[in-house]
Amino acid sequence: MAGEISVSLDAMGLNLPYSMEAEQAVLGALIVDSSLFAKVAGMLEPKMFYYKNNGSIFEQISRLYSESGAVDFVTLLAAVQEAEIFSTPDEAKVYVTQLAEWVPTLSNIEHYAKIVVERYRVRALMLAAKNILESTGEEADADLLLEHAERQIYQIRAGSSSNALTSISDVIVDALAHLQEIGGPNRDRYLGIPTGFTYLDMMLTGLGRSDLIILAARPGMGKTSFALNILTNIAKRQNLGVAMFSLEMTKDQLVNRILSGEAAIHSQAFRTGNLTDANWTDLVRASEVLAKTNIFLDDTSQITVAEMKAKIQRINQDPHKGNIDVVIIDYLQLMSTGRRTENRVQEISEITRNLKIMAKELNVPILALSQLSRSAEKNRADHRPMLSDLRDSGSIEQDADSVLFLYRDEYYNKDEDNAGENGVTEAECIVAKNRHGETGTAKLMWDGAHTRFTNLDGYHG
């Protein structure tokens, strides 16, 4: 990438920032003392060197270090000559010799590396700006341009952080401090965020911050309704900020679903407009309560992870709107990476991996809804879903901290025993994977008329 930046931006007459001295100092220090590689391995990549040959030399140092640890003048020179980085073997020998002879101070290698990284990031920003400028024009869509710009900036920022290995003694101190916090008066701030469903929260200990939770079900099971119930429970009871990205339903449709459940008005009344005076009274009351919550809705189709993160950060940076504490996505298979690809399985894998990264970076739980394959309906007498039913990718199960399935027996077995009173029937939330605790089944009640789930022991008709 460094070469690409150099060519494209030099052509624009821009003064590209780089430090040949810092690049050569890093390489020279590694030739003199290869043990210093551990200090810069997590900071540098070959593409960060402005001079292409410097990047290629660093790549050979990395290879030698990982293969045998034997990095010195002789082994590196042989590797550089074999890779034909320079035009002739003699030219390679002269340059590597100069690197080994010109090292200001070995102890400053991390400082030299930081200079290389900072100059690279500025060049990357300049390239991003150039690409954004080239995308503009009279016919350009402003919203698309903004999303394109935010995605490029996010990619530069995402590639700039790295964490070093941490001593277990330091981690133990942090763990003990955390245990004191969750046992103290502010324990709610450190525990998982309760969903409002008692038995589910007992198994999950709430939605863990930085966790990716997958909620999967076949169409018609009510996964969107369940997600909306969790959303309103968190926003109302804990006064936390919740963002829902709906790639399938509009914001108006989501609000109608929420109001139907909160005001206990039959969902059919919202579709027909046949509301009684009592309905209007309940509707106004529910609207006043919901209007005071920190619920944010987005119905952008085929949104990318980078675009989601940019929108969340804009909310978090606005002092008048507060923070986003929980993110809900409906649903996973409608998301996009922003690139054209014919391999949908690989694309879903990239999306789930980036969602997990976003959850960690923002320190929020992400509840992502997912479709299930038809095998849950066709190939088994028991239609309860299993992890193997997750659609499109095994990486969904791999990347998720928890996997939840919704199941309603009356959906498949429509007999009198399953009919329920007033159309209210039992439902199950199956915890099929739980990285932090037990698995099992949480019993719920499903009220289809009002599109809501409730606790099994909390329903009174």
Catalytic residue numbers read: 248
Q: 115 with 43: CB under 8 angstroms?
A: no
Residues 6+ apart with CB under 8 A from 76: 31, 57, 60, 61, 64, 96
Element (H, E) at 227: helix 223-238
Cα–Cα distances in angstroms (integers) from residue 230 to residues 66, 141, 311, 322, 459, in the given order:
48, 35, 21, 19, 16
Cis peptide before 331 (omega within 30 of 0): yes
CA separation (Å) from 348 to 58, 94, 205, 206, 223? 33, 49, 28, 26, 19
Residue with tokens 């922003």: 338
As given in the structure block, the two tokens for residue 200 are 């589910």
Residue-by-residue DSSP string for 407-456: E-HHHH--SGGGT-BTTEEEEEEEEEEETTS--EEEEEEEEGGGTEEEEG
d(CA 243, CA 326) in angstroms, rounded, equals 6
> Per DSSP, which regions of 84-234 are E strands?
212-217
What one-letter code names the amino acid at 220?
A: G
8 Å CB contact between 192 and 204: yes
Sheet hosting strand 326-330, strand order edge to edge = 295-298, 242-246, 326-330, 366-371, 212-217, 402-407, 424-434, 440-447, 452-455
Residue 92, CA atoms < 13 Å, CB-side half-sphere: 20
Three-state DSSP class for residue 369? strand
Write the CB contacts of 172 (distance below 8 Å, at least 6 apart in sequence).
Answer: none
Contact 221, 429 (CB under 8 A): no
Return the C-alpha torsion angle 72, 77, 78, 80, nearest 10: 120
Query: CA torsion 72→78→83→84, rounded to 10°?
Result: 120
Task: Of 213, 238, 224, give the one whose Cα is nearest residue 436.
Answer: 213
Measure the CA–CA gap between 78 and 223, rounded to whole angstroms. 61
